[in-house]
Chains A and B, each alone.
With several copies, the nearest count.
Chain A
């Protein structure tokens, strides 16, 4: 199952499905790194609302993605980690350190708007 990646304005939005294999996750990682360049995206949202389990491989891949995307000059935010998934992650010892998180898509967009505004947009406040 391939993760659909949506281009929305300056951002890319990847929506992870429940039954995602390791290979699918790695494909998503590579697709995001490539498309950020192709579309000159400023930010990436990975929506994990539907994800049933965030194990150490998924957590590691998400943090790899955030690091790769940063090196490509864009920001990443993970949205939609459910309470029970957050609980399992914490018990397992996964922290997603250095990776931005937000409640849902809307908050994630807010985060990116803010995070990328400083750098990318409106160098002159009077033009806003």
Chain B
């Protein structure tokens, strides 16, 4: 079942570290309209922060798109982080705690998966990376 859109989505271009802060604030703002708890809003903002930083660090630039969606009874927030950077060479490795090709902690991708209800990463060498995450209202 495809989720239906509840209202206009927000698209935040990500090119520098200021955009990381802006994107997570926007995500929090939008998600709070659905009535997420403050703990859940913190999880969502943290996930956006990690994905946005990966764009800046590994791809240089890209975008974060945030939508409120509905699927059957469920309502939730749907976030897509996308870039046309170098892609993730080895996704299985990248999803492991502690794996980093830079000097990061390597907790971003596996951590974001833990934070959210749904997580999907699509990446092609030389063509970019798209990470899609969702959190449903309980």
Contacts and interface: CB of A to CB of B under 8 A. Distances in A.
- Complex contact flag A–B (Cβ < 8 Å): yes
Interface of A: 19-23, 30, 52-57, 59-60, 82-85, 87-88, 91-94
Interface string B105-137: 101101110110000000000000000000000
Interface residues of B, number: 28
29 contacts: A19-B21, A20-B21, A21-B20, A52-B42, A53-B24, A53-B42, A53-B46, A53-B49, A54-B46, A55-B49, A56-B104, A56-B111, A57-B104, A83-B39, A84-B39, A84-B41, A84-B42, A87-B42, A87-B43, A88-B39, A88-B45, A91-B43, A91-B111, A91-B114, A92-B111, A92-B112, A92-B114, A92-B115, A94-B105
Contacts of A53: 24, 42, 45-46, 49
Given A21-B17, A54-B46, A87-B39, 11 more contacts: A21-B18, A52-B25, A55-B49, A56-B111, A57-B53, A60-B104, A84-B38, A88-B46, A88-B115, A91-B114, A93-B110
Q: Report whether over half of chain A's contact residues are helix, strand or loop; otherwise say mixed.
A: helix
B92 to A, nearest CB: 18
A72 B38 CA distance: 17
Q: Report whether over half of chain B's contact residues are helix, strand or loop; otherwise say mixed.
A: helix
Of B41, B42, B103, B108, chain A has the most CB atoms within 10 Å of the CB of: B42
B20 A22 contact: yes
A52 B73 CA distance: 30
A54 to B, nearest CB: 7
